[in-house]
Amino acid sequence: MSSTLLWSRDLVTAGTVLFQRALDSLDDAALTEPTALEGWTRAHVVAHVAANAEALVNLATWARTGVETPMYASPEQRGSDIEKGAVKPAAELREWFCDSAAGLDKALGALDGECWTRLVRTAQGRTVPATEVPWMRTREVMVHAVDLDGGVGFDDLPTDFLIEVLHDAAAKRSRGADGPAVVLVSTDPTDTVDGTPRSTAWPVVGVGEAVQVRGPLAQLAAYITGRDHTGLTTDGGTLPGLPRWL
């Protein structure tokens, strides 16, 4: 397994632990309370993350067998699975999260060198090598661990993840180029990877003159994913709002 792949599978594990920590901190009644995600209770978030693991098992199966196995049968199925899952008894919902995460770990563990290079299709219709599947999972467990509002915040997420999600979200928003143009600038101390300084600015292509948004990595990541953030400053312009991503 390549070092990148090992790294991304480690991040899946770290994100799963954080999601579990947030979930364990909440009692059953708290699961029925609303989140900052429009129309979703915490139970919806858990159901979505559990269903996501099962959908990614489909992609792992596709990569292993070469037989086309989409994440979801349809967008409607994706939505109805979340709605049905959200009304499950709390104990069942908690078990679903654990079992589905373990199932995905097992399915990814069954892939060998050649399988990882096979092309699969995401729910958004992008064709990607199977090596991208661990990262797709990492984004979901990390960001939704924060959405659970159970004591895990963006500050608790690993720096490697924050940097990667800034790259990924900036690239995604730049491809659409239909939101505000911004440049995200980290005010965290610069560090290096193998002697090379890490990137500390992420331009987002969009509408209008780019506004520079400065702050700690964790808060920039919260901002770029459309979540609540604090302590960000701009170069004079107003901080443009961004829609939710993930």
Looking at the DSSP bridge assignments, the partners of residue 204 are 182
Burial level of 62, CB count in 10 A (0-12/13-18/19+)? buried
Q: Does 166 bind Zn ion (CB under 5 A)?
A: no
d(CA 130, CA 4): 13
CA 224 – CA 238 distance, rounded (Å): 15
Q: Say how many residues touch Zn ion, by CB under 5 A.
A: 2
The stretch among 31-39, 88-96, 165-173, 238-246 that binds Zn ion (CB under 5 A) is 238-246
Q: Does 136 bind Zn ion (CB under 5 A)?
A: no
| Residue 246 within binding range of Zn ion, rule CB under 5 A | yes
18's tokens: 């954080």
Residue 71 binding Zn ion, by CB under 5 A: no
Judged by CB under 5 A, does residue 148 bind Zn ion? no
* Window of 20-28, 132-140, 153-161, 231-239 that interacts with Zn ion by CB under 5 A: 132-140
> Which residues make Cβ contacts (< 8 Å) with residue 182, sequence separation at least 6?
203, 204, 206, 210, 211, 212, 213, 240
Q: Does position 170 bind Zn ion by CB under 5 A?
A: no
Which region among 14-22, 103-111, 140-148, 210-218 touches Zn ion (by CB under 5 A)? 140-148
Minimum Å gap between C-beta 24 and Zn ion is 20
- Cα dist. 40→36, 43, 81, 93, 144 in Å? 8, 8, 13, 15, 12
In the bound state with Zn ion, the residue whose beta carbon lies nearer, of 108 and 142, is 142
The pattern of x and - marking residues 7 through 46 that bind Zn ion according to CB under 5 A reads ----------------------------------------
The stretch among 69-77, 117-125, 127-135, 136-144 that binds Zn ion (CB under 5 A) is 136-144
Q: 């965290």: which residue's tokens?
A: 188
Alpha-carbon distance of 94 to 18, in angstroms, equals 14
Answer yes or no whether residue 50 interacts with Zn ion by CB under 5 A: no
DSSP type of residue 31: G
Nearest approach, Cβ of residue 67 and Zn ion (Å): 26
The CB-of-86 to Zn ion minimum distance in angstroms stands at 14
Interacting residues with Zn ion (CB under 5 A): 140, 246
